[in-house]
């Protein structure tokens, strides 16, 4: 039996608790729709550009679901971009 992962685009603002150490950013938790999700692991991170702004992207998991968070490094606004469910 093969596993199927469904990716859903969310693109909504979220509140994120993160640790900043030099140029490194580590999301630790986020709140979406009044629910707090604890980040157990950051599985991948990358950067992109959105106009003049540098965007930091984080693929994170709470242990059961994969989420993509983004941080606009110009405005410091966080967004929940996508959710992947298995």
pLDDT digits (tens, 9 = 90+) for 62-77: 999 999 999 999 999 9
Q: Is the pTM of this model over 0.75?
A: yes
Pairing of strands 6-13, 15-21: unpaired
Rama region for 22: left / alpha / beta (φ>0; ψ in -120 to 50; rest): left
In the predicted model, is pLDDT for residue 24 greater than 60?
A: yes
- Cα gap 39→53, rounded to integer Å: 25
What number is the average pLDDT over the span 50-62? 95
**Measured between alpha carbons, how far apart are the two ends of the chain, in Å?**
13
- Give φ, ψ of 52 to 5 degrees: -85, -15
What number is the average pLDDT over the span 44-70? 96
């Amino acid at each position: 039996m093969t596993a199927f992962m469904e990716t859903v685009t969310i693109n909504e603002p979220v509140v994120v608790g993160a640790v900043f150490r030099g140029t490194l950013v580590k999301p630790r938790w986020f709140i979406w729709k009044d629910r707090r999700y604890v980040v157990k692991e950051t599985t991948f991170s990358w950067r992109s550009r959105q106009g003049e702004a540098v965007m930091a992207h984080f693929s994170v998991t709470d242990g059961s679901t994969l989420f993509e968070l983004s941080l606009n490094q110009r405005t410091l606004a966080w967004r929940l971009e996508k959710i992947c469910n298995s």
